[in-house]
Chain A
Amino acid sequence: SAVISQKPSRDICQRGTSLTIQCQVDSQVTMMFWYRQQPGQSLTLIATANQGSEATYESGFVIDKFPISRPNLTFSTLTVSNMSPEDSSIYLCSVEEDWGYEQYFGPGTRLTVT
């Protein structure tokens, strides 16, 4: 199984600022995903990040708010821009070796916006 790390593990940020979350995988993977888990809720997919192409965003999420980079097969970043308290969530990175394979998750980044 893939081993995934995320940085930072947690952060407290002020309203109006931006935070970039890093996701590093110990092996090359085709599919990388970014999820949000709001307090007490289940997971919601933000976008799918594939190397060499623009990220594909789910309904309700836009590139200006959540820009994503995927420079290679082991790394991705998610930026949460112009933050508001409603962005306080756990942000999770996940990977699949290829489409339809078992999905593995990172430890998450707990973001609090004040």
Chain B
Amino acid sequence: KQEVTQIPAALSVPEGENLVLNCSFTDSAIYNLQWFRQDPGKGLTSLLLIQSSQREQTSGRLNASLDKSSGRSTLYIAASQPGDSATYLCAVRSGSARQLTFGSGTQLTVLP
């Protein structure tokens, strides 16, 4: 059974810092991995989707990497802003599974 872990559970940084969020998964036979952000009391916003054959994806100030063999993904946020404050969730689709398996998230606070 796939398990997804996100460390740290919470992170607070001053505005302007570059930061890395971590996601690890137990079964490396994944189909793809998706990063989301969730604002308090709201739905999820898709940030990046990485297919199993890809090493990284970039969107604006965000860069996500994938290392299947080690069961890890990172989300790099450059020049953080207070508007980046949210919970960031990593989700993995394993093999032919119909569902995404979610991590518990990293709650990010960017201080002005």
Contacts and interface: CB of A to CB of B under 8 A. Distances in A.
Given A33-B99, A56-B98, A104 B41 contact: no
A1 B46 contact: yes
A102 B98 contact: no
A105 B43 contact: yes
Main secondary structure of the interface of A (DSSP, over half): strand
B45 interface: yes
Contacts of B104: 41-42
A105 B105 contact: no
Nearest to A58: B99
A1 B93 CA distance: 19
B102 A108 contact: no
Contacts, number: 50
Nearest to A50: B98
A4 B44 CA distance: 11
Interface in B63-81: none
Interface residues of B, number: 21
A107 B40 CA distance: 11
Contacts of A100: 31-32, 93
A3 to B, nearest CB: 11
A41 B89 CA distance: 11
A90 B103 CA distance: 17
A90 B46 CA distance: 18
Interface in A57-114: 58, 90, 92, 94, 99-100, 102-108, 110
Interface of A: 1, 4, 6, 31, 33, 41-43, 45, 48, 56, 58, 90, 92, 94, 99-100, 102-108, 110
